């Protein structure tokens, strides 16, 4: 089983002004003249963490991490009043292109999981000539059926105890309706206590259900849930995208798969992923048979689970020597 590469620190970092009053945090680590790879974090709204650098051989990769609009170290942060009207999938794709050009990178590998797989696919389908390979995990195609499964009651059949905590902030009179819409009202409330309570419950639901075997909060690597600032960005931005259907047509990422048919790809999926069930990974693989699918039989959603981590690092190792 492949394990993480040792911890490393960035050799360069900064902010890039992408317009709309937004400054995107970025960092580069590993080998300055190595193969470029961009890590696309989840959520949306999750931000990056140091361990995410460790999926890549620092002797062979130039590792780029960035925080998407409104979260992490990007400015302004949701907690500081970031404008969600300029936070859409198209904006994030444009931000990635601005960053690529800023760093002088001609083409790069795109690596992402969960929402990172959504944005990674959308970016690659928009700019296929800029992508050398795709490494995707916990596939999320942002179809309405996927949203309804996880946020409107499907997953409650597996986690009925945890589901009660997710429902808690919602008035009982609204619990039979669209819960994503109900949360949107709470998360955008002028009463900050109401918004923070809702953000904690929304984020806690995803944190608690991401692993095959439940983890204590302090064991959830890569998620800073429980920190009110993190929770607010994670929940508010994620909900904003889901209310707006990800700013994509339903099924768009499958319909446009021919745009990336020539790009080498690896899909890694936990069989017991409740957050992003395997149906989506299977549908993607059927539409894109050129990509290799690895189903991890003893894993849920999280990229830090041993089997998922193994296949992700094996994929980046295999692609490290491939020329752009």
Q: Mind telling me the catalytic residues?
A: 114, 273, 301
Angle made by CA atoms 107, 108, 112, in degrees to the nearest 5: 145
Residue 65 to residue 195: CA distance in whole angstroms: 29
Q: Which residues does 138 contact at the CB level (< 8 Å), separation at least 6?
A: 42, 113, 114, 117, 268, 269, 270, 273, 275, 276, 281, 301, 302, 303, 308
Q: Pull the structure tokens for residue 274.
A: 């409740």
Question: DSSP code of 80?
Answer: G
Which residues share a beta bridge with 13?
A: 27
Burial classification of residue 136, based on how many CB atoms lie within 10 Å of its CB (0-12 exposed, 13-18 middle, 19 or more buried): buried
Residue 135's φ and ψ, nearest 5 degrees, are: -120, 115
Contact by Cβ (8 Å): 79, 7: no
Which residues share a beta bridge with 62?
A: 30, 36
The size of the chain, in residues, is 324
């Amino acid at each position: 089983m492949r394990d993480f590469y040792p911890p490393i620190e960035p050799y360069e970092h900064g902010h890039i002004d992408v317009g709309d009053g937004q400054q995107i945090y970025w960092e580069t680590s590993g080998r300055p003249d190595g193969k470029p790879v961009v890590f696309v974090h989840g959520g949306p709204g999750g931000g990056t963490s140091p361990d995410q650098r460790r999926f890549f051989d620092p002797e062979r990769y130039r590792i780029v991490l960035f925080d998407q609009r409104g979260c992490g170290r990007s400015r302004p942060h949701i907690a500081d009043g970031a404008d969600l009207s300029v936070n859409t999938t198209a904006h994030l794709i444009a931000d990635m292109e601005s960053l690529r050009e800023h760093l002088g990178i001609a083409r790069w590998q795109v690596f992402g999981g969960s929402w990172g797989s959504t944005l990674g696919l959308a970016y690659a389908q928009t700019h296929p000539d800029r992508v050398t390979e795709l490494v995707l995990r916990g596939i999320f195609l942002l179809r309405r059926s996927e949203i309804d499964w996880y946020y409107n009651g499907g997953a409650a059949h597996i986690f009925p105890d945890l589901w009660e905590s997710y429902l808690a902030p919602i008035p009982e009179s609204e619990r039979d309706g669209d819960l994503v819409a109900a949360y949107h009202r709470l998360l955008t409330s002028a009463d900050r206590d109401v918004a923070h309570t809702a953000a904690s419950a929304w984020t806690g639901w995803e944190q608690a259900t991401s692993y095959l075997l439940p983890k204590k909060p302090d064991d959830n690597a890569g998620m800073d849930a429980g920190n009110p600032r993190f929770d607010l960005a994670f929940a508010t931005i994620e909900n904003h995208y889901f209310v707006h259907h990800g700013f994509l047509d339903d099924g768009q990422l499958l319909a446009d798969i021919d745009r990336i048919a020539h790009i080498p790809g690896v899909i890694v999926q936990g069989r017991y992923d409740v957050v992003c069930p395997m149906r989506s990974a299977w549908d993607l693989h059927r539409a894109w048979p050129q990509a290799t699918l690895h189903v991890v039989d003893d894993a849920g959603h999280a990229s830090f689970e041993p089997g998922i981590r193994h296949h992700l690092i094996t994929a980046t190792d295999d692609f490290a020597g491939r020329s752009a």
